[in-house]
Structure 1
Amino acid sequence: MNISLLLQMAADAAPDREALVCEDRRWTYDALWKAAQGAARSMRESGATHIALLDESSEAAPIALFGAALAGIPYVPLNYRLADADLGALLGRIAPAYVIGDTDRVTRLNGDGGHTLFGRMDFVAEAQAKADGPELEETEETVAVQLFTSGTTAAPKAAILRHSNLLGYILGTVEFMSADESEAALVSVPPYHIAGISALMSSIYAMRKIVLLPAFDPDVWLKLIEDEHVTNAFVVPTMLSRIIGRMDAGVKADVSSLRAIAYGGGKMPLELISRALDLFPQTNFTNAYGLTETSSTVALLGPDEHRAAHQASDPAARARLASVGKPLPTVELEIRDEEGRKLPAGERGEIYVRGDQVSGEYRERSALDAEGWFPTRDAGYLDEEGYLFLAGRADDVIVRGGENISPGEIEDVLLTHGAVGDCAAVAIPSVEWGEAVGVAIACKVDCSQPGEEELCKLVKDRLRSSRVPERIVFVEALPYNEMGKLLRREVKKLF
């Protein structure tokens, strides 16, 4: 099967139904399907080995995604925020490519790569012009999407998602044509992230209108909710923080249509999600945890669980508001130690997952073990009821005198201080212990800076002395990427 089937089924079922809105340009399912077919014809004629998108979100993204699938050529959305040297290297790795978007930059960085180049609207026009043409022959290509990893410690790996992986996720989590015509999903995550790709596919299969926001802005986000009567949205924690900040500052918008908000991509502070639940009392919140290599979500904390935890008086039950919920029924999940042994509830280790949607595959190699398990490199633990709690990346663990310390446990304690708005704990060199705890803190607006002794005492009283920071630095804001992930490598530079 091919992911293009998702769009074809939607176009066959309701060709005139509105499928997508982007900056006042509107597309029906039939128009989007015809454009995807036209794009596929153009792509095949080019002789390209990859289809690359170097652009913000627009109608070009779904047309390129499904066009590439029909053409039988891997789709490679690129991070347009990369430095020139990094982007140039990636363009060289996929040459010759059919590139859509910033053609001037491609020419400057990899002009001798033999690429076929189209600006955004030129590509859309090309796809529409070739919408009526000869029947497209089926292809044997099994790779649907290739996404480059962030490459924080080495050259980016090319993560491979096959049609079977992506369809395994969509068919296992979404019911066809389950949305009525009044439903609209606001997509504000970038097209080169797995969350952006899965948002397009799941909304199209459910036949929920997609409202694209090319570049996130909290005021524009709120206005689109009101103007397009948006019912569903996906945000990362930093986006939600900015939205709530604007609402608390007095920005008005009618958000009564908003039935559901899903979030993921980074750690959600307990205080932030609690405030969101207060501000959106009629909205269903879902925390979605997943990775590129797993075709998006593998665990969910659903709306009922959010409400139960938010209203709970029992500390253990309330703590689940900071979890990512339970694994999907179609996914197996285990916590393992460094020797690969399965750990019992309550013990921290590395998260392993297995299932049809799990790729765990790179162009360079496969990361799956002999039994099909994928080591996520995320650290975490399961509680007695099966709720999954994240504890950062496995590589982020602070090893002090042979004792493993999770940065998350220190951060959670510090965030209970009334003046602490955000914080990050990292490993810093120590002559005595090998590694010690360093903490960067961003104070809340209009709050005075707390004393270091006060903060150290808070950690010591709640945890123990080995968790007490050896150094504390105060900053205006912590470094995050556009998907809301904390850049700990940048925090370490502060020390």
Structure 2
Amino acid sequence: MEEVKSKKVVDNVQQFKACVDPKYSYAFGQSSRPLIYKTLGAMLDETCEKFPDRMAVISTHEDYQATFQQLKSDVDSLAFWLVNSLRIARGDVIVTMTGNTYKSLILQFVAAKIGAILYPINAFYTKHEVEFSLNKVNPKMFIIPGPESEQEKCINRFHLLVTSIVEKLPKSLEYIVLLDGKQQTENIGKAKVLMFDDLMQSARNINQMNESSETDINNNASPPEFNDPDSPALLLSTSGTTGPPKAAILSHFNIINNGQMMGYRAGMTEGSRVCLPVPLFHSFGAVVGVVPIVTQGCTTVLIGYRYSAEAVTSAIIGHECTHLLSVPAMMIDILDYLDKNKHLSITSLTHVLAAATLVPYQVAEKMSKVVNSLKTIDIAYGATEASPGITVPISSDSLYDKLDNVGLPLDHVEVKIIDQVSGEMVKIGEKGELLARGHNIFMGYWNDETQTKACMNKAHWYKTGDLATMDSKGYIRIVGRLKDIIIRGGLNIYPGEIEDALISHPLISFSAVFGIPDDRLGEEICAWIKFRDESKKLTEEQVIKFCKEKMAYFKVPRKLVFVTEFPTTASGKVQKYRMKEISMSMFNQVQTKS
């Protein structure tokens, strides 16, 4: 292969240079911004010194606000109490299962101060998924909402769920902490049951006693100093779009630098107010929604225990949010809500950072018209294993240009596209698997060296499993997943091409395309379709006729399913493996074992 010679694309607004190989699909996010080698706890201390009285967190549904000084005081006090009273130590795993609350947010900083590892699991998990997650990581503490809490009413029956698997709880579990609600028992299995508010009050009392005492016997309730940025900070479940989730290990170095660079690319600065409807148990929320609080000095606005368009709109208007972290489905819901409530007007929002999937052009165009203050809609691409960002658009790009791709590599991140068979880089414009390397790439999967080696080579290149192309300026376009490729009669078919064609029809709002087994052709093409208006639907014949006008005959889907919603992960990613299972049952197909 020829020696790599780079050319540079400069964006003065972002102070960023994408260095791109002139022939092969390789790009590097050259940046003048330095990487930070500090822990999340150390960053909180620094930011508190700069902005002690600035608002750090606003929780609208809890009617609670905390300045940086209040946030640091709560974090330090609770961390001190957990270390000295409950003997929580560096390396211990703390599992949380909760909606977005102030308490769940500060727990991320508390664990970081101690050197413990926080594992926030999906608040909507079933008892089997909870059992699997707990026994996978053997935590010392499990934190959930208690009986008769508000969260139990609107999310999950957490306490009943845990008591139903009491015989299967891991032996390592010493404490079950109830965030709210009522304490009905002193123990669940061998684990002691504690109330979060009691722990917090005890911690604050010690802090107050020390502040009023001439002899600081407890060192002002400060936790022991922990300063190892290379140690694990978070365990996050992979999204589960293709099967059971794995626990990805993210270090302090991973999340601090991905959070700050994603924040910079999205235009977050001191004083930005970031509306956070995406869950804190997902990498988008846990990193991009939390880390810029301490790297940029932003304010994070929590909107509810669970997402609703009404709550998001109310938070943006009521607290003058400048940024919104979203997925395309949320944007569609917000527009529908504003259509039905025309007296409402969003005037503060300037930036939307979207993830999970591409934003349809019609949705982005309408959003920019309805929200007059909006300057940019950026579509980020990444993975839990990448902390999560890999590529993000440049803010000065036009809206149309942004929606056709997922942008350029993040600052200090390398990307390349390789041929799946030879492993060599493909030429500019050719399809192949996208790989990434840099500060963002995870440490590996928890207790799963086999799966870690399967997705990351010895040179630390992470294999995304996504098919992509790169243009001459380094912009990445995702065209599908390796596992999603449909081989129909020996021909490779990329679902993304068919999905793009389908949503170009004015009556279709969303589509998902995948292959199902076929005795004759090996695989047949199946498409799930959602219409913009249920009163204005196409027939199967009309859809097939439309497809024949847009694509070669062998790409036309033969199995169609019309739906009003899609099975998705909590982060909004469609779960094609579930759709495939449902479709195979509908069409009486049997999966051939390989």
TM-score, with length taken from structure 2? 0.77
CA distance 1:246–1:55, change in 2 (3 Å): same
The answer (yes or no) to whether the contact 2:97–2:143 under 8 Å persists in 1 is yes
CA offsets 1:152-184 (integer angstroms, 9 cap, x no match): 555432200011212232454557x97344x31
Q: Does 1:33 align with 2:79?
A: no
The answer (yes or no) to whether the contact 1:287–1:302 under 8 Å persists in 2 is no
Q: Whole-Å Cα distance in 1 between the matches of residues 243 and 512 of structure 2?
A: 23
Q: In the alignment, what sits opposite 2:199?
A: 126
CA distance 1:142–1:282, change in 2 (3 Å): same
SS at match of 2:312: helix
Q: Whole-Å Cα distance in 1 between the matches of residues 481 and 425 of structure 2?
A: 18
The answer (yes or no) to whether the contact 1:266–1:483 under 8 Å persists in 2 is no
Paired AA for residue 356 in structure 1: H
User: Among 298, 320, 335, which residue is 1:229 paired with?
Assistant: 320
Q: Whole-Å Cα distance in 2 between the matches of residues 129 and 29 of structure 1?
A: 21
Paired AA for residue 30 in structure 1: Q
CA distance 1:303–1:282, change in 2 (3 Å): farther
Q: In the alignment, what sits opposite 1:315?
A: none
C-alpha displacement of 1:360: 5.4
The answer (yes or no) to whether the contact 1:38–1:128 under 8 Å persists in 2 is no
Q: Does 1:46 align with 2:137?
A: no
CA distance 1:334–1:252, change in 2 (3 Å): farther
C-alpha displacement of 1:355: 0.4
C-alpha displacement of 1:64: 0.7
The answer (yes or no) to whether the contact 1:38–1:126 under 8 Å persists in 2 is no
Q: Whole-Å Cα distance in 1 between the matches of residues 77 and 481 of structure 2?
A: 42
Q: Whole-Å Cα distance in 2 between the matches of residues 355 and 287 of structure 1?
A: 20
Paired AA for residue 8 in structure 1: D
Q: In the alignment, what sits opposite 1:443?
A: 531
SS at match of 2:291: helix
Q: Whole-Å Cα distance in 1 between the matches of residues 274 and 202 of structure 2?
A: 28
C-alpha displacement of 1:194: 0.5
Q: In the alignment, what sits opposite 2:224?
A: 137
Q: Whole-Å Cα distance in 1 between the matches of residues 441 and 323 of structure 2?
A: 25
Q: Whole-Å Cα distance in 2 between the matches of residues 425 and 178 of structure 1?
A: 35
CA distance 1:204–1:353, change in 2 (3 Å): same
User: Among 90, 109, 117, which residue is 1:66 paired with?
Assistant: 109
Alignment of 1:320-339 (within 5 A): 320-339=402-421
C-alpha displacement of 1:185: 1.2
CA distance 1:270–1:228, change in 2 (3 Å): same
Q: In the alignment, what sits opposite 2:469?
A: 381
Q: Does 1:428 align with 2:516?
A: yes
Q: In the alignment, what sits opposite 2:162?
A: 106
C-alpha displacement of 1:323: 1.3
> Identity over aligned residues, as a percent?
25
CA offsets 1:202-249 (integer angstroms, 9 cap, x no match): 133211221111311111211111111111111111111100111122
Alignment of 1:175-190 (within 5 A): 179-181=269-271, 183-190=272-279
User: Among 457, 469, 488, which residue is 1:369 paired with?
Assistant: 457
C-alpha displacement of 1:51: 1.3
CA distance 1:42–1:244, change in 2 (3 Å): same
Corresponding pairs, count: 483
CA distance 1:128–1:347, change in 2 (3 Å): farther
Paired AA for residue 140 in structure 2: A
CA distance 1:327–1:230, change in 2 (3 Å): same
TM-score, with length taken from structure 1? 0.91
Unaligned runs of 5+ in 2: 1-37, 147-158, 181-194, 208-217, 585-594
Q: Whole-Å Cα distance in 2 between the matches of residues 369 and 117 of structure 1?
A: 38
Q: Whole-Å Cα distance in 1 between the matches of residues 241 and 259 of structure 2?
A: 29
Q: Which moved more, 1:456-465 or 1:235-244?
A: 456-465
CA distance 1:391–1:115, change in 2 (3 Å): farther
Q: Whole-Å Cα distance in 1 between the matches of residues 327 and 241 of structure 2?
A: 20
User: Among 290, 294, 297, which residue is 1:204 paired with?
Assistant: 294
C-alpha displacement of 1:324: 0.9
User: Among 135, 141, 145, which residue is 1:92 paired with?
Assistant: 135
CA offsets 1:361-383 (integer angstroms, 9 cap, x no match): 11212342121100011222123
The answer (yes or no) to whether the contact 2:105–2:280 under 8 Å persists in 1 is no
Q: Whole-Å Cα distance in 1 between the matches of residues 341 and 263 of structure 2?
A: 36
The answer (yes or no) to whether the contact 2:515–2:525 under 8 Å persists in 1 is yes
Paired AA for residue 75 in structure 2: A
Q: Which moved more, 1:115-124 or 1:482-491?
A: 115-124
Q: In the alignment, what sits opposite 1:314?
A: none
C-alpha displacement of 1:93: 2.5
C-alpha displacement of 1:54: 0.9
Q: Which moved more, 1:461-470 or 1:475-484?
A: 475-484
The answer (yes or no) to whether the contact 2:94–2:139 under 8 Å persists in 1 is no
Q: Does 1:277 align with 2:368?
A: yes
CA distance 1:36–1:124, change in 2 (3 Å): farther
Q: Whole-Å Cα distance in 2 between the matches of residues 170 and 442 of structure 1?
A: 34
C-alpha displacement of 1:354: 0.4
Structure number with greater Rg is 2
C-alpha displacement of 1:281: 3.7
Higher relative contact order (CA 8 A, sep 6+): 2
Q: Does 1:24 align with 2:24?
A: no
Q: In the alignment, what sits opposite 1:115?
A: 174
SS at match of 2:39: coil
CA distance 1:476–1:167, change in 2 (3 Å): closer
Q: In the alignment, what sits opposite 2:356?
A: 265
